[in-house]
A and B are shown apart, each in its own frame.
Chain A
Amino acid sequence: EPEVTQTPSHQVTQMGQEVILRCVPISNHLYFYWYRQILGQKVEFLVSFYNNEISEKSEIFDDQFSVERPDGSNFTLKIRSTKLEDSAMYFCASSARTALNTEAFFGQGTRLTVV
């Protein structure tokens, strides 16, 4: 069964460092997403991406964040200068369409710890 895979499963980084979280979406999907969950809080939408462009982003997704699809298979989230409050579980997701009745498929998450 096709699945979304994320690497690494756990990343520890020092405050101020750049970090790149990687995702391989399901191969025939066209829409890609990043969500995050700070410990004890809700899963929050960060950004959606289609046709090599951001299609929607939340207020969380400021200039410190960027996304890229560098090749035909990977989808990355970069945080330029990490802050303590960026510590969270980051989930990548993909979907075949954005229609209301279409579900998203999620990866297992990357736990980012900023120290």
Chain B
Amino acid sequence: AQSVTQLDSHVSVSEGTPVLLRCNYSSSYSPSLFWYVQHPNKGLQLLLKYTSAATLVKGINGFEAEFKKSETSFHLTKPSAHMSDAAEYFCVVKTSNTGKLIFGQGTTLQVKP
């Protein structure tokens, strides 16, 4: 069965310091992986996606993620956190062409001044 595990439910960083949000997946097939962000009272917004073209994927707002097949990981990083990055982040896997997405449990990112 396919699944996604986000290793931290809550991450707190200071503004200007690096961000690391961890995600591991389990899939019998070569998956596509996504990171979505949800700001308060907003919809889920796509940050970036991995679809086998390149293992290092760059997204919006300075975020990037690296697909590591050997570690079944897809961690999200950003070199320098901004206050506006405070939100809920979801790692998502898609393993078939039915369109169904499987979500991790989410990580709340807090950015302190």
How many of A's residues come within 8 Å of B, CB to CB?
Answer: 30
Q: Are A43 and B99 in contact (CB under 8 A)?
A: no
A48→B94 CA distance, assembly (Å): 14
Smallest CB-CB separation from A6: which chain B residue?
Answer: B43
Smallest CB-CB separation from B34: which chain A residue?
Answer: A103
Give the residues in chain B near A75, CB-CB below 8 Å: none
Would you call A114 an interface residue if the criterion is a C-beta within 8 Å of the partner chain's C-beta atoms? no
Give the residues in chain B near A6, CB-CB below 8 Å: 43
Give the residues in chain B near A99, CB-CB below 8 Å: 97
Smallest CB-CB separation from A49: which chain B residue?
Answer: B99
A17→B57 CA distance, assembly (Å): 46
Q: Mark B68-92, 1 if CB is under 8 A from A, else 0.
A: 0000000000000000000000100
Q: What is the CB-to-nearest-CB distance from A25 to chain B, in angstroms, rounded to a whole number?
A: 12
Q: Are A109 and B43 in contact (CB under 8 A)?
A: yes
Indicate which residue in A9, A100, A108 contacts B97 across the interface (CB closer than 8 Å): A100
Would you call A3 an interface residue if the criterion is a C-beta within 8 Å of the partner chain's C-beta atoms? yes
Would you call A55 an interface residue if the criterion is a C-beta within 8 Å of the partner chain's C-beta atoms? yes
A98→B100 CA distance, assembly (Å): 8
Smallest CB-CB separation from B104: which chain A residue?
Answer: A42
Q: Are A105 and B46 in contact (CB under 8 A)?
A: yes
Q: Are B105 and A91 in contact (CB under 8 A)?
A: no
